[in-house]
């Protein structure tokens, strides 16, 4: 398995991810509190989101008067047969995210499930965003919520579920800020700006897939030598298609920054509502399997957000039998998640508001512009970089590594193929990968796909969640490490011969800085 690949175990849904998910969504929406019901672990969430108010509702008879301040959160008693406790009521009025973790149906003693059931209706009624985890299948949870007049924004397999169907749990996110899905109007204009270099085996299906999805396509060919440009020329008769070569003449190196600035210019100058930076070896889908891409983007626009982040699925060949010119997305079905730190943000779709969008400043990973509102739920970026052993050797070893721009490499760009050398096996065993099944994979892995949680290294080291003293030590260390008074000292230490690099590594490992 290649370095950075999480495999199956690393994407297993975990109940510890729920408060992090709630906090991440609260931050995205501008909410200031998270209210939890059930056995929820708050330590990492408190350290990662120190500005949020965290409240745990527990069965009680004091109607909100029995409160207890804990090191990580406030614990609040509530008899759910009575009105919402004053503190929780105030938080919900100021917009809080509610997390309801329903206990197992066969749990001994007083039923956590019964308590969750009593609080479900009032919290669904008041909270602008509610996350519900309950025993049973996703369809059972959907029916349960429908009886309370709620429709899930996202629905899938919950923490503890197994792929074989044993011990099923389901998770639903009910987000009032996201409107019900409706078909996109014909007036919605979306354009994919595609950069390409030597993609002759897939360029045709790539263009056809986008045009067939109702998108306009503008291809920027970087002087391909394998016939990519000539194949793309066949689509010139389509009014929704444009083609150019950039720059004016071939260059000896692969100059990514000028290409990105050209994408910025094309996307900003087009009379479209949305622009997508879409490479030739990519396909995109929304987090809702039942919605076409145009309809999914229309739903984002209706939510008031103007940029879309992505979770990248890197598809790997399991044989050498792909036929060039055929539908690559239909052929390659086994993937691993992209989990390197630079993939936390893949903001490659944005609403065209007329202001300048910067791609070159982040090596094309993030469309940046003032006032950007990033949609809280990620889309899927299906990535098909290598199609066979021979293709991988030609693309990586001869066409890419030999042409990197030295100045861009000095900035840390173009390092993703550094570990690949002659003899590298591009064809992968099926057992190392995850099979993508349309409509099922999105549900089975709904939390990591839609949020990225569980895919990337945590920003909080595990030792810091081992109790109040360790948490306080961690907070103090992060404060000192980020303070202006220590920056000069840290900079001097980093420059020391022999000592500098190990000291920097040790500090980053200790404090969980990636």
In tens, the pLDDT along 429-462 reads 999 999 999 999 999 999 999 999 999 887 787 7
Mode of pairing for the β-strands spanning 190-196 and 216-221: parallel
Per-residue model confidence (pLDDT) at position 82? 60
Reduced to 3 states, what is the DSSP secondary structure of residue 25?
Answer: helix
At a CB cut-off of 8 Å and minimum separation 6, what does 393 contact?
424, 426
Per-residue model confidence (pLDDT) at position 463? 79
Per-residue model confidence (pLDDT) at position 11? 58
Give 197-200's long-range contacts (Cβ < 8 A, gap of 24+).
197/221, 197/222, 197/223, 197/224, 197/228, 197/254, 197/399, 198/224, 198/225, 198/226, 198/228, 198/395, 198/399, 199/224, 199/226, 199/228, 199/280, 199/281, 200/224, 200/226, 200/227, 200/228, 200/231, 200/324
Per-residue model confidence (pLDDT) at position 320? 98
For residues 342 and 456, give the distance between their C-alpha atoms in angstroms, rounded to a whole number: 10
Query: Which residues does residue 218 pair with via DSSP β-bridges, in sequence order?
Result: 193, 242
* Neighbour tally for 65: CB within 10 Å: 12
Alpha-carbon distance values, 69 to 40, 55, 93, 398, 467 (Å): 16, 9, 21, 61, 15
For residues 128 and 136, give the distance between their C-alpha atoms in angstroms, rounded to a whole number: 24
* Average pLDDT of the chain to the nearest whole number: 85
Residue 35 is encoded by which pair of tokens? Answer: 């209210």
For residues 403 and 284, give the distance between their C-alpha atoms in angstroms, rounded to a whole number: 28
Per-residue model confidence (pLDDT) at position 460? 83
Q: pTM above the 0.85 mark?
A: yes
Residue 481 is encoded by which pair of tokens? Answer: 């490490």
Per-residue model confidence (pLDDT) at position 41? 85
User: What is the DSSP code (8-state) at residue 137?
Assistant: -
Q: In which residue ranges of the chain is pLDDT below 70? A: 1-13, 59-69, 78-94, 102-118, 160-167, 481-514
Alpha-carbon distance values, 455 to 2, 8, 312, 380, 432 (Å): 15, 11, 10, 14, 16
Residue 158 is encoded by which pair of tokens? Answer: 């919950």
Residue pLDDT, tens place only, 337-392: 999 989 999 999 999 998 999 999 999 999 999 999 999 999 999 999 999 999 99
Per-residue model confidence (pLDDT) at position 470? 81
Residue pLDDT, tens place only, 118-143: 678 878 888 889 999 988 999 999 99
Query: Which residues does residue 115 pair with via DSSP β-bridges, in sequence order?
Result: none
Q: Are 447 and 21 in contact (CB under 8 A)?
A: yes
Q: Are 35 and 55 in contact (CB under 8 A)?
A: yes
């Amino acid at each position: 398995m290649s370095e950075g690949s999480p495999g199956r175990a690393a994407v297993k849904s975990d109940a510890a991810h729920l408060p992090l998910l709630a906090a991440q969504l609260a931050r995205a929406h501008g909410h200031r509190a998270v209210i939890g019901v059930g056995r929820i672990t708050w330590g990492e969430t408190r350290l990662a989101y120190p500005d949020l108010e965290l409240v745990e509702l527990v069965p009680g008879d004091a109607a909100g008067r029995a409160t207890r301040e804990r090191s990580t959160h406030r614990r609040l008693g509530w008899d759910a047969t009575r009105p919402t406790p004053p503190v929780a009521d105030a938080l919900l009025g100021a917009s809080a995210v509610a997390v309801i973790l329903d206990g197992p149906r066969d749990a001994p003693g007083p039923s956590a499930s019964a308590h969750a059931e009593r609080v479900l209706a009032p919290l669904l009624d008041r909270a602008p965003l509610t996350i519900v985890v309950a025993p049973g299948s996703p369809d059972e949870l959907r029916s349960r919520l429908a009886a309370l007049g709620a429709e899930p924004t996202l629905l899938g397999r919950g923490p503890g579920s197994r792929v074989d169907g044993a011990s099923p749990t389901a998770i639903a996110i009910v987000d009032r800020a996201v409107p019900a899905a409706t078909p996109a109007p014909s007036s919605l204009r979306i354009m994919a700006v595609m950069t390409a270099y030597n993609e002759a085996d897939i360029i045709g299906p790539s263009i056809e897939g986008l045009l067939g999805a109702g998108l306009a396509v503008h291809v920027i060919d970087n002087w391909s030598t394998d016939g990519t440009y000539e194949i793309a020329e066949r689509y010139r008769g389509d009014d929704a298609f444009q083609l150019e070569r950039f720059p004016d003449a071939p260059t000896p190196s692969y100059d990514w920054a000028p290409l990105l600035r050209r994408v910025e210019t094309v996307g900003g100058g087009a009379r479209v509502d949305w622009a997508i930076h879409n490479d030739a070896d990519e396909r995109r889908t929304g987090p809702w399997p039942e919605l076409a891409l145009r309809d999914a983007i229309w739903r984002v626009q209706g939510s008031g957000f103007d940029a879309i982040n992505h979770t990248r699925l890197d598809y790997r060949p399991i044989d050498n039998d792909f036929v060039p010119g055929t539908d690559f997305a239909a052929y390659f079905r086994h993937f691993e998640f992209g989990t390197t730190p630079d993939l936390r943000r893949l903001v490659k779709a944005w609403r065209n508001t007329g202001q300048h969008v910067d791609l070159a400043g982040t090596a094309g990973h993030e469309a940046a512009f003032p006032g950007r509102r990033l949609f809280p739920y990620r889309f899927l970026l299906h990535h098909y970089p290598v199609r066979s052993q021979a293709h991988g050797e030609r693309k990586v070893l001869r066409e890419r590594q030999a042409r990197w721009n030295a100045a861009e490499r000095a900035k840390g760009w173009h390092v993703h193929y550094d570990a690949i050398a002659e003899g590298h096996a591009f064809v992968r065993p099926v057992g190392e990968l995850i099979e993508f099944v349309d409509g099922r994979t999105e549900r089975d892995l709904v939390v990591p796909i839609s949020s990225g949680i569980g895919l990337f290294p945590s920003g909080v080291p595990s030792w810091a969640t081992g109790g109040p003293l360790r948490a306080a030590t961690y907070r103090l260390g992060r404060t000192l490490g980020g303070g202006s008074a220590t920056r000069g000292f840290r900079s001097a230490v980093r420059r020391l011969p022999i000592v500098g690099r190990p000291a920097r590594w040790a500090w980053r490992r200790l404090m969980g800085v990636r």
